[in-house]
Structure 1
Amino acid sequence: MPDGAPVPGPAPTFLDVSRSLSGRAWRQRPAEAGVIRAHMQGQGLIEPLARALAARGVTAEQGADFLAPTLKRLFPDPSSFMDMDAAAAAIVAALTAGDRIHVFADYDVDGASSAALLVRWFRLMGSELPIYVPDRLTEGYGPSPLAFDRLKASGADLVITVDCGAAANEAIAHACAIGLKVVVIDHHMMREEPPACLAVVNPNRPGDTSGQGNLAAAGVVFVLLAALNREARRLGLFADRPEPDIRQWLDLAALGAICDVTALTGFNRALTGLGLQVMSGWTNPGLKALLAVAGVESGPAKSNHAGFILGPRINAGGRIGRADLGARLLSTDDADEARALAEELDALNIARREVEREVTETATRRVEATGHHADGSAVVVVSGEDWHPGVVGIVAGRLRERWRKPVIVIGIDALAGVGKGSGRSQPGMNLGRAIQSAWRDGLLLAGGGHAMAAGLTVRPDGIDALRDYLNAGLAGEQAGAEALDWVEVDALLDPGAATRDLFEAFERLAPFGPANPEPLFALDGVRAREAVAMNGGHVRCRLTGPDGASVKAIAWRCADLPTGQALLSGQGGLSVVGRLKADDWNGRRGVQFEIEDVADPRMAT
């Protein structure tokens, strides 16, 4: 949260909604009147937009940098990261010595983006960088002794781990024992004692003073590229070749930041916003091919492109296909290879959606039959045999949205006698820390993550004990998280005021993500007309005000929930909160209202 951000606390309800149909209270985002006026005067903003900016903790002095961030003003000194100089020196020394360098990447979008950034820098330095991505099913997350044995056998001298490795102390000790040099570039939570290797660069490392803990791994790697350029420049390596312009790869840094759901503030916001501008040119062959197979026209890139079109397809390789497909796609300069990889990833993504649907439905039935979703417990832990480890994280996220509490979904491999799980958390509840604690206390075979997401490996007979342990450990954070779970509204609108002009005015706050949430607007006293349930449990309708003005609307995955039932009933007098989205179908340049929550005054408690 930026400096000066309002601290959530007791506040009047908005539209008198103390309990919506999803069980939440509404309030207007708190903002200081003086800061609102300053943004109106200093930045020339309309009052609702100035209020939204102030409500995101942006002070009068920060307004210009927030609305028009630049790398020149916000780029951190690479040396402020612990071990960054050592990492750059080791990598450049290995490059100039002709050592065989490999990159070891996580199998998600952030890992693929991080690997591709390094591959592209090395390519301009005249060296091809082989990529190793562990198989999710057979190797699990992060480095392992087996993986390092394979890398050593393939001829590697130096391994750079990206988006993993910071907690792999034992595996990296093995690597060093067999003569491999290792540099770790990561952003995940780690132990107090780092792995013993050449360098461990992680803004979330204990003792690091960079202040860049909200970066994804791709953001850390982007800073590493600046450090590599600086080190190579110091050694005179650019006397006979141009210095790589790392700005051309900002699209990869933005992709990692958005898909890893990082807080888009400060330098990370600049990285992401400017990266989306670079992405808009669609010069990366892999991203261009992926957009084409998704049937989306090229144009200005938005966070939604990364989060909902590109990201799921890149992730599909690591989830249910070959783990290295995403990194290869983002690294290639061959248009034909990019097209083939994109088609394979798109097909895998279609298969992934079906697997995800089946696991979601089964897990939902299982939890709701036990009542664990509504018994006051701090966390839901659900498991099932043969649930694909590649989708458990997505399912956990879906169920977290449904039940508004942390959820861990575990797929059990009965033959191997292990369960592999993934969890998603609520703001205010640090799931990664709880999982690390469970690992230290012997309840897990492996585990780690960050505040909002975590992964784990557990024996099937230890799942009940894990559930009890996490419920006890997170109980103290539960009340604070529930207090944070307001629906925070930016402005009250009439349906007729939900226009494209208003949408584009608020787009100045983009890109959106944690610490900079997408603006929420409220409509009061509306009726859902022409409501229909769609495949996937979505509800489409037209929200009509008392004066007859209306706006098209959609609510996702709620047809079986009270919110969806209220919309489908066609009743009037509803209060609705949601986001404005562009509706450019057939060139119409309109807007659609994406419903977040619904309140029925007649059911107020």
Structure 2
Amino acid sequence: MANLVCGVSSSALGQSWQWRGQNSGFSGENPLEDLVDRILITRGCPRENLSLYRDPKIKHFMPDPSLLCDMDRAAERLAKAIYNKESIVIFGDYDVDGATSSALMIDLLRQLGVNAGYYIPDRLAEGYGPAVQSMQKLAEDGTNLVVTVDCGAQAYDALEAAKATGLDVVVVDHHQCQPELPQAYAVVNPNRLDENEGAQYGHLAAVGVAFLLGAALLRHLRKDNYFSDKPEPKLMAMLDLVALGTVADVAALHGLNRAFVAQGLKIMATRHRPGIAALLDIASVSRPPTTYDLGFVLGPRINAGGRVGKSDLGVRLLTSLDKNECDKLAQQLNQLNQERRAIEQAVTEAAEALCEEQVEQPVMVVSGGGWHPGVIGIVAGRLKQKYGCPVIVIGIDGEGNGKGSGRSLTGVDLGAAVLSAKQAGLLVNGGGHAMAAGLSIKKEQIEDFTSFLSEKLRKDVEKARANKALLVDDVLSAGGVNLAVIEALEAGGPYGAGWPSPHIVTGPVHAIKCSILKEKHLSVIFKGQDGQSFKAIAFNAVETPVAQTVMAAGRDRGLWVAGKIQLNEWNGRKDAQLHIEDLAWA
């Protein structure tokens, strides 16, 4: 137990507080620099590469795209289509990763003089990925080459049908693959089971794989002197799309992804893309965007088109060059997002009631008639957070056909388990990646599928739960909660999946003022032994152990407070505020 922080073995939320890594080996001459170095190292940065990770640039992390299987073959086929002025269609998924991947390929080809079409299937009418009918229709319409992005790795029947019509398909995907690949002209996917060096890039979102394909294509054209009489597209200017898709798809922000997001945020801050500028405006984001904005402000609005509206709205917004059109599309997506929230709340309440009957299960699988398939993934994510286990939410239509979406815990590979269930004949279709999965299922299969998942994942879930602890990066006095620390912490970012925001502990402190905001948030002013005070807030904390502990402590009992230090801007003033995540008696 020597790794405990402040001796906390059981906090208000019943968890231990542990150092994220070894809290030693630093000079101590500059505490803020030491804090940043500690953050980087404990998230996987080699000590000798600290300078590179402080400002991650693409050139330091970008691999040779040819490392990936079929990459050169895919680039050559695209180049051939450009030379021969063939008809190219980008076939994308209806989520943010699919929309940004599609937009990147469309933008790149447009700058190469090709007006590529796009096809985004309707979530309700067509479901996920290529279908036999959609491939046949594209062939009938005279398409020569289809590039699937963020889908295709499991589209066996559809790509077989495409091949039969003479339609070439290049798959650009990142979802888990089976040993046998679909019959495509090329399959570019770092999660192919036969990948060697390229497997280290399995954490990329599909938009990151698309960016690598773009680099391979430009290199191929450059060797052919294609740009001797024309300008070369600015691939780096498309990093705003890569950053958005990467964060929204909850891809791990280490290595190349971290460079994608760090540089992509800088590109996005220039507002050069009319669609993203319009979306930032409709969301009232006037400052330079952050990873939070990508994941919780822009992402949900783009997703709303595919969830409860028209599936192609996101691609239309991200590829349009007309400001007026972008403003209208952003307004439409914003309205759809509000509708999505209402639908989501109703499904969440119904699913939550069913989860209460399964609290002892390692994996919760809940289903309901008429649950909108556009919100089940979000609901699964919320329930996973509440119950601390993988959750799959299934909406069933009037004919007994179910569409499901699941979210998992770190260390529990849900995508692989769903793929195994498909191979065992328990699903109509299914797949995904470690933290998320999608599936199609018959109503009568749900019980057997639930038993299969529980048996397969029980040990992994137990291990993940046993390892639950609040991982702490530093302990500060009350006076340490300040703007200088926030600036230092930003140097360790961007933060997100796989590169978590720092947890800071401060104390011992006393609560000198408490108030309830909007009947659900707890606002506190704490004062430390150094005589300094700081503001803190605990969101949605009323009637939770966090609020109860603060109220019980009053002004007399000392507390350790753990959370994330964030910038608070109000009426032109800026100060530091601690977002409370846990508490313990001092």
> Would you say 1:379 and 2:379 are equivalent positions?
no
Structure 2 counterpart of 1:487 = 470
> Would you say 1:597 and 2:582 are equivalent positions?
yes
- CA apart distance, 1:464: 1.8
- CA apart distance, 1:508: 0.2
Structure 2 counterpart of 1:476 = 459
8 Å contact from structure 2 (residues 477, 530) kept in 1: no
Letter in 2 for 1:586: N
User: Which region of structure 1 is more displaced relative to structure 2, 203-212 or 102-111?
Assistant: 203-212
Match among 138, 141, 145 for residue 154 of structure 1 = 141
Structure 2 counterpart of 1:196 = 183
Match among 521, 524, 527 for residue 507 of structure 2 = 524
Relative to 1, partners in 2 of residues 1:352 and 1:600: Cα closer, same or farther, differing over 3 Å? farther
Match among 378, 382, 392 for residue 376 of structure 2 = 392
Q: How does 1:205-604 map to 2 (within 5 A)?
A: 205-208=192-195, 209-210=197-198, 211-297=200-286, 299-368=287-356, 370=357, 372-373=358-359, 375=360, 377-413=361-397, 415-528=398-511, 529-534=513-518, 537-545=520-528, 549-567=532-550, 571=554, 572-599=557-584
CA deviations 1:501-542 (Å, max 9, x no partner) are 10111100111122311101113344553231536x444433
- CA apart distance, 1:473: 0.3
CA deviations 1:65-87 (Å, max 9, x no partner) are 11122222221101101100000
8 Å contact from structure 2 (residues 275, 318) kept in 1: yes
SS of equivalent to 1:589 = strand
Identity %: 43
Relative to 1, partners in 2 of residues 1:384 and 1:533: Cα closer, same or farther, differing over 3 Å? farther
> Would you say 1:26 and 2:13 are equivalent positions?
no
> Could you state the TM-score of these two structures normalised by the residue count of structure 1?
0.92
SS of equivalent to 1:33 = coil
Letter in 1 for 2:134: A
Structure 1 counterpart of 2:3 = 12
Relative to 1, partners in 2 of residues 1:360 and 1:22: Cα closer, same or farther, differing over 3 Å? farther
Relative to 1, partners in 2 of residues 1:565 and 1:454: Cα closer, same or farther, differing over 3 Å? farther
Q: 2:155, 2:252 → 1: CA distance?
A: 25
Letter in 2 for 1:509: G
> Would you say 1:73 and 2:64 are equivalent positions?
no
> Could you state the TM-score of these two structures normalised by the residue count of structure 2?
0.95
CA deviations 1:148-194 (Å, max 9, x no partner) are 12322333221100011112122211111122110000011111111
Letter in 1 for 2:13: S
- CA apart distance, 1:50: 2.5
8 Å contact from structure 2 (residues 479, 530) kept in 1: no
SS of equivalent to 1:576 = strand
8 Å contact from structure 1 (residues 531, 567) kept in 2: no
Q: 2:2, 2:243 → 1: CA distance?
A: 35
- CA apart distance, 1:294: 0.9
Relative to 1, partners in 2 of residues 1:286 and 1:177: Cα closer, same or farther, differing over 3 Å? same
SS of equivalent to 2:471 = strand
Letter in 1 for 2:425: G
Gaps of 5+ in 2: none
CA deviations 1:31-89 (Å, max 9, x no partner) are 2734x44xx78x99533333222222222212111112222222110110110000000
SS of equivalent to 2:242 = helix
SS of equivalent to 1:509 = coil
Q: 1:524, 1:400 → 2: CA distance?
A: 31
Letter in 2 for 1:493: L
8 Å contact from structure 1 (residues 427, 484) kept in 2: no
CA deviations 1:381-405 (Å, max 9, x no partner) are 1122211111111111111111211
Letter in 2 for 1:276: L
Between the two proteins, the alignment pairs up a number of residues equal to 581
Q: 1:117, 1:347 → 2: CA distance?
A: 25
C-alpha RMSD over aligned residues = 2.0
Q: 1:394, 1:598 → 2: CA distance?
A: 28
SS of equivalent to 1:110 = helix
- CA apart distance, 1:363: 1.7
Q: How does 1:37-48 map to 2 (within 5 A)?
A: 37=27, 46-48=33-35
SS of equivalent to 1:240 = coil
Q: 1:567, 1:111 → 2: CA distance?
A: 44
- CA apart distance, 1:497: 1.7
- CA apart distance, 1:567: 4.6
Letter in 2 for 1:580: I
- CA apart distance, 1:480: 2.7
Letter in 1 for 2:156: N
- CA apart distance, 1:11: 5.6
Relative to 1, partners in 2 of residues 1:134 and 1:542: Cα closer, same or farther, differing over 3 Å? farther
- CA apart distance, 1:284: 0.8
CA deviations 1:258-289 (Å, max 9, x no partner) are 11111111222111111111111111101100
Relative to 1, partners in 2 of residues 1:32 and 1:590: Cα closer, same or farther, differing over 3 Å? closer
8 Å contact from structure 2 (residues 32, 485) kept in 1: no
- CA apart distance, 1:548: 5.9
User: Which region of structure 1 is more displaced relative to structure 2, 25-34 or 387-396?
Assistant: 25-34
CA deviations 1:129-162 (Å, max 9, x no partner) are 1111111111111111122123223332211000
SS of equivalent to 1:530 = strand
Relative to 1, partners in 2 of residues 1:305 and 1:187: Cα closer, same or farther, differing over 3 Å? same
8 Å contact from structure 2 (residues 514, 522) kept in 1: no
Relative to 1, partners in 2 of residues 1:538 and 1:473: Cα closer, same or farther, differing over 3 Å? farther
Q: 1:328, 1:432 → 2: CA distance?
A: 30
Letter in 1 for 2:255: G
User: Which region of structure 1 is more displaced relative to structure 2, 585-594 or 468-477?
Assistant: 585-594
Letter in 2 for 1:74: F
